């Protein structure tokens, strides 16, 4: 399932965070925490240029509310509606 970058709104498969954690010998939890702050940059990617600030802002709200519940965040993004409005 995809998660959204809180900076540029680029969708990233959650598996990327697991892979990156393994790559840098860190934990998924640590990488996910970093990702919620820095998005793409936290997993060695660059932010996309065709970003949607509205979608990114929504992603930040989701992460703010759900904290380290990445499964919940994924469900929220997959749902496609923002229930926090
Ligand atoms: Zn990004």
How far away, in angstroms, is 38 Cα from ligand 1 center? 8
How far away, in angstroms, is 39 Cα from ligand 1 center? 5
- Under the banding of pLDDT at 50, 70 and 90, the label for residue 24 is very high
pLDDT at 85: 45
3-state secondary structure string across 15-76: HHHHHHHHHCCCCHHHHHHHHHHHHHHHHCCCCCCCCCHHHHHHHHHHHHHHCCCHHHHHHH
pTM, entire model? 0.88
Kindly state the tokens that stand for 54: 């509205």
Taking only the tens place, the pLDDT of each residue in 1-13 is 999 999 999 999 9
pLDDT at 80: 67
How far away, in angstroms, is 73 Cα from ligand 1 center? 16
């Amino acid at each position: 399932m995809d998660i959204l970058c809180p900076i540029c709104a680029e969708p990233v498969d959650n598996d990327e965070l697991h892979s990156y954690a393994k790559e840098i010998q860190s934990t998924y939890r640590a990488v996910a925490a970093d990702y919620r702050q820095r998005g793409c940059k936290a997993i060695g990617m660059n932010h996309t240029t065709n970003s949607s600030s509205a979608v990114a802002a929504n992603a930040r709200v989701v992460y703010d509310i759900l904290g380290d519940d990445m499964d919940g965040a994924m469900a929220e993004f997959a749902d496609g509606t923002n229930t926090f409005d």
